[in-house]
Amino acid sequence: MKRYKELYITEILICIIYVLLKFVIVNRYLFLNSYFDAIYFFIIFIYFYFKYGIARDKNYYTKISVRYIIIFLLSYVLIIYGAGLFFGFVNSIYDNSLKGILINTLPVIVSIIFRELVRFIVCYNSKKNIKPIIFLTIIYICFDLFNGVFTSSINSFYNLFQFMCLTVLPSVAKHMLLSYISYKINFIPALVYSLPMEVVPFILPFYPDLGNYLTAVIAILLPFLIYIFLKKMFSYEEKEMAPLNRLLIKVLSMILTMFLIFIVALISGIFKYKMIAIGSDSMNPIYYRGDAIIYEKDTDIKKGDILVFEYNNSIITHRVINIIEEDGTKYFQTKGDNNDNPDLNLTSAEDVLGKVRFIVKYIGFPTIWFSERS
Mean pLDDT, each 10-residue run in order, the chain (374 residues)? 76 88 77 85 93 76 86 84 68 80 91 95 86 91 84 72 85 93 91 92 78 81 89 62 51 62 59 76 83 80 88 86 84 89 86 84 62 53
β-partners of residue 354 are 308
Sequence-ordered list of residues with C-beta below 8 angstroms from that of 302, at least 6 positions apart, any chain: 320, 323
This prediction's pTM: 0.67
pLDDT at 311: 84
pLDDT at 240: 46
pLDDT at 165: 82
pLDDT at 359: 80
Which superfamily, per CATH, for 273-372?
Umud Fragment, subunit A (2.10.109.10)
CA-wise closest residue to 174 among 213, 137, 209: 137
Q: Domain extents for the chain?
A: 2-238, 273-372
Q: How far apart are CA 51 and CA 34, in angstroms?
A: 28
Q: Is 322 left (phi over 0), alpha (psi -120 to 50) or beta?
A: beta
pLDDT at 365: 61
Sign of the dihedral defined by the CA atoms of residues 224, 230, 233, 239, in that order: negative
pLDDT at 40: 93
- Return the HEC string of 221-251: HHHHHHHHHHHHHHHHHCCCCCHHHHHHHHH
Alpha carbon distance, N-terminus to C-terminus of the chain: 51
What is the CB-side half-sphere exposure of residue 324 using CA atoms within 13 A?
11
Q: Where are the beta strands (DSSP E) in the chain?
A: 89-91, 206-208, 273-277, 292-296, 306-311, 314-326, 329-335, 347-348, 352-360
